[in-house]
Amino acid sequence: MLGRAGRPWRTRGTGCPRFVTGGALVGMNCARVAPKLAAMSDSTHRWLRQQPVRRRAEVAFWGVVLALQAGFNTLVQRLDRPQLPLWQPLVWEVSSALVLGLLVPAVVAWERRFPLRWGVLRVHLPWHLGATLAFCALHVAGMVALRHAAYAALGQAYAVASWPGMLAYEYLKDVRTYVLILAAALSWRLLLLRLQGEARVLDAPEPPAGAPPAPAQPVARPERFLVRKLRREFLIAAADIAHVQAQGNYVGLRVNGHDYLLRATLTEFLEQLDPARFVRVHRSHAVNLDQVAQIEPLDSGDARLTLRDGSVVPVSRRYRDALGR
């Protein structure tokens, strides 16, 4: 919240005052301090902002978890049924783990389509309950197919003793697995949000005490956004935003080489920006035209933008004309 007009509002954790006078923001020491604060936190968590590195870390995490699970379950099967050759429980557990690994991205994408937030929980929860049935069906079908292939390669025949019993047993396990995948994905997203920082539009200044209410005016486009990051707050200028990317329920803002998140859709956020400066170039991307360094046409009819900070942004044929306006 901004303080009352004419009174300083001290940014928590930074020691930088901001002043509101007549609806304008002055005393922009915070804007000069902001890059220093961002550099301090980003140097520690730089790898979290790098998409390829982050994706490899996520894949490695699930690979380790599923490998440990398969190894542990194989050991339990071996101890419970010592008469079985080792390769049988190993094939069972590895086939199950491989299919679960392929289903993890689908579960995460489904949660982005139907987010489990309190305000929409009653509407979206049935979609997730139905998704557990599809999750179990795909898991069972995939692992049975892999087991048939593995057994055939070893000169053996694989058969399911009781399909109803197997489906009931697997569904009870798969519901727990589905919930655990969601919990892990949401926890990881919360950690990234805390480390990466979340932006929001600055609240309008409060009128002085006793002043008559101001007449209704058109909503002005925000010139700055308040960013919270690692328990610090600072300001970023809208003109400094180079690139905007849709990320599920958020948009990612690329500002002076740093990335921040803001809870909004790409369409909603672009309505708050200057359309003469910010244009949509892809279903999931928009750019600041002042930050474009190079446009590279592609044989497919699409294009590729290189921004001044070196970032590369795809341009689809549908939106190419926006670059020439």
Residue 36's pLDDT is what? 44
Taking only Cα atoms into account, the Rg of the chain, rounded to an integer number of angstroms, comes to 26
First to last CA, the chain: 37
Is the confidence at residue 90, as pLDDT, over 90? yes
Which of 52-56, 175-179, 226-230, 258-262 ranks highest by mean pLDDT?
175-179
Q: Is 54 exposed, middle or buried (0-12, 13-18, 19+ CB in 10 A)?
A: middle
Q: Quick check: 226 and 199 in contact, CB under 8 A?
A: yes
Of 98, 181, 180, residue with least CA distance to 141: 98
Residue 170 has pLDDT above 90, yes or no: yes
The values of phi and psi at residue 52, to 5°, are -60, -45
Residue 204 has φ and ψ, to the nearest 5°, of -70, 145
Cβ(48)–Cβ(267) under 8 Å?
Answer: no
Question: Which of 13-17, 172-176, 242-246, 247-251 is the most confident on average?
Answer: 172-176
pLDDT band at 159 (very low <50, low <70, confident <90, very high): very high
Question: 121-153 and 163-196 helices cross at what angle (nearest 10)?
Answer: 120
Q: Which residues of 108-130 are buried (b: 16+ CB within 10 A; e: fewer)?
A: bebbeebeeeeeeeeebeeebee
Residue 2 has pLDDT above 60, yes or no: no
Q: 300 falls in which pLDDT band (50, 70, 90)?
A: confident
Round the average pLDDT of the chain to a whole number and report it: 78
* Domains of the chain with CATH codes: 8-44+201-207+221-324 (2.40.50.1020), 55-195 (no CATH)
**Given strand 24-26, what is the order of strands in its sheet?**
8-10, 17-21, 24-26
Q: Residue ranges of the alpha helices (H) in the chain?
A: 29-44, 46-49, 51-80, 87-113, 121-153, 163-196, 266-270
Please state which of the ranges 48-52, 74-78, 236-240 shows the lowest mean pLDDT: 48-52
Rounded Cα distance, 252 and 262, in Å? 7
Q: Quick check: helix, strand or coil at residue 162?
A: coil
Contacts of 223 (CB under 8 A, 6+ apart): 25, 237, 238, 239
Percentage with pLDDT > 70 across the chain: 74
Write down the residue that tokens 């930050």 correspond to.
291
Distance CA 161, CA 180 (A): 29
Q: What angle do CA 107, 113, 117 make, to 5 degrees?
A: 95
Q: What is the pTM of this model?
A: 0.57
